[in-house]
Chain A
Amino acid sequence: DQQVKQNSPSLSVQEGRISILNCDYTNSMFDYFLWYKKYPAEGPTFLISISSIKDKNEDGRFTVFLNKSAKHLSLHIVPSQPGDSAVYFCAASGAGNNRKLIWGLGTSLAVNP
């Protein structure tokens, strides 16, 4: 049972345009959400996070939006650059004893020059 779902296995965008990666979750107890980026032959690296008390968090070209009622979050990358080409994982955790991170399957983003 996939509690964190990234329904698009892959996404291709042109350099300079916006990349939007989506993530849905089913567990209403999740209260913290993260995005990690993974290049080939490397481990995932933390990108950006958002707490459930917020609906938006921005860090440079990266913005994460959270819609709690829809149990949906998205990562926006503007403008997209070829170096952003990687696999992006969405992860979620709950409070207290539910702090174990639950991961999506990832979306492979290709930014074309």
Chain B
Amino acid sequence: AQRVTQPEKLLSVFKGAPVELKCNYSYSGSPELFWYVQYSRQRLQLLLRHISRESIKGFTADLNKGETSFHLKKPFAQEEDSAMYYCALYAGGTSYGKLTFGQGTILTVHP
């Protein structure tokens, strides 16, 4: 069975510092990986997905199949980036939407 691990429950950085939120997965096939973000009192929102290879709000993530990782990075953190971040994996199957989530990382960006 697939598994997603986010080793840091909490991550604090100062504004302008680089930030990296770690995500490791275990799955024997070719997964699709996602990052979701949840700002305070708001809904889960898709931040980015690896097949799009796009940068959203300055965040990027590269799928490293050798290390089975999908770390989320931003070179210069902003205070508005403070949120809960979830890494998620789609393993395929009969239907879309069956995502396996990590535990989440709370990112706090200090002024």
Q: Do A and B bind each other?
A: no
The chain B residues found within 8 Å of chain A, CB to CB, are none
